């Protein structure tokens, strides 16, 4: 069940707490890594620790919910951007979000899957949906002749994730400039001249 469906079945105060916990966890994991204390997350969300445990009985469930939230954000953003006339700008905006999420993901990836807990089946499905959403943006740019036709979305995502890993280790690098360099490398020869 995705986050949207889950929240439909909650009371409004519980929905507010759930959303606040996800936002607070996202911020805490981004700033402090996956080992950010659950008490700190509850404090940032302005809820008691009991509320956190009612929604997320384990740390891994909270980490996974944040991960799901990121994918849903990427899918939603792509849906909006596919309506944009400037396909290159749309692709750049989506890749900027993907890179930001990739950098945040570096801090929690080890906690996403831990021994002894069942795999959440919707993670694979969400990753597929994210890939398909990005594929539409890439296809639009290829159709307009601004991006090389031989590039696949899997290659683009792999490179962006690689950049995310590098940027998590190197400070003082401008993310936007790095993506500009990437897009120039992806540009069709007609568009470069």
Pair (43, 76) in one structural domain:
no
Rounded Cα gap, residues 142 and 62, in angstroms = 38
**Predicted pLDDT of residue 185:** 87
- The average pLDDT across 23-46 equals 91
Res. 116: pLDDT tops 50: no
How far apart CA 31 and CA 104 sit, in angstroms, is: 9
Question: What's the rounded Cα separation, in Å, for the pair 84 and 47?
Answer: 39
Average pLDDT over residues 29-54: 92
Q: Name the average pLDDT for the chain.
A: 85
- Verify that 67 and 88 share a domain, yes or no: yes
Token digits of residue 176 = 């936007």
pLDDT at 115: 39
Q: How much is the pLDDT for 118? A: 47
Of 80-94, 101-115, 175-189, which has the strongest mean pLDDT?
80-94
- Name the DSSP letter for residue 146: S
The rounded percent of the chain whose pLDDT value lies above 70 is 85
Do 143 and 182 belong to one domain?
yes
Angle between helices 122-143 and 153-169 (to 10 degrees): 110
- Give the number of other CB atoms < 10 A from CB of residue 92: 19
Joined tokens for residue 189: 């020869």
Domain limits at 130? 59-192
Q: 156 and 69, same structural domain?
A: yes
What distance in Å separates the CA atoms of residue 166 and residue 187, rounded to the nearest whole number? Answer: 22
Number of domains in the chain: 2
- Which of 57, 76, 104 terminates a domain? The answer is 57
Q: Which of 10, 30, 57 is the last residue of a domain?
A: 57
Residue 135 and residue 165 in one domain: yes
Q: 4, 129, 110, 133: which is closest to 64 by C-alpha? A: 110
Choice among 6-20, 25-39, 139-153, 170-184 with the minimum mean pLDDT? 6-20
Q: Are residues 140 and 181 in the same domain?
A: yes
So what's the pLDDT on residue 193?
45
| Pair (38, 63) in one structural domain | no
Q: Identify the pLDDT of residue 51.
A: 94
Burial of 156 (0-12, 13-18, 19+ CB in 10 A): buried
Residue 11 belongs to domain with CATH number:
1.10.10.60
158 and 97 in a single domain? The answer is yes
Same domain, 51 and 14: yes
Q: Which CATH number do you get for residue 101?
A: 1.10.357.10
Q: Is the pLDDT of residue 171 over 80?
A: no
Q: 50 and 82: one domain? A: no
Residue 91 is predicted with a pLDDT of 96
pLDDT at position 129 is: 95
Verify that 24 and 44 share a domain, yes or no.
yes
Q: How far apart are CA 18 and CA 37, in angstroms?
A: 17
Same-domain pairing of 53 and 64: no
């Amino acid at each position: 069940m995705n986050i949207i469906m889950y929240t439909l079945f909650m009371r409004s105060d519980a929905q507010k707490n759930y959303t606040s916990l996800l936002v607070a966890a996202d911020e805490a994991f981004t700033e402090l890594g996956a080992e950010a204390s659950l008490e700190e997350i509850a404090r940032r969300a302005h809820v008691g620790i009991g509320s956190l445990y009612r929604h997320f009985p384990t740390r891994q469930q909270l980490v996974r919910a944040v991960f799901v939230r990121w994918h849903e954000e990427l899918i939603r953003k792509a849906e909006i951007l596919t309506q944009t006339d400037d396909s290159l700008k749309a692709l750049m905006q989506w890749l900027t979000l993907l890179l930001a999420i990739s950098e945040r993901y570096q801090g929690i990836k080890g906690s996403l899957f831990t021994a002894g807990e069942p795999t959440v089946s919707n993670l694979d499905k969400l990753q597929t949906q994210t890939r398909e959403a990005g594929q539409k943006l890439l296809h639009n740019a290829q159709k307009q002749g601004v991006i090389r036709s031989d590039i696949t979305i899997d290659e683009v995502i792999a490179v962006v994730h690689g950049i995310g890993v590098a940027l998590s280790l190197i400070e003082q690098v401008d993310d936007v400039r790095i993506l500009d360099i990437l897009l120039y490398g992806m540009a069709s020869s007609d568009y470069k001249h």
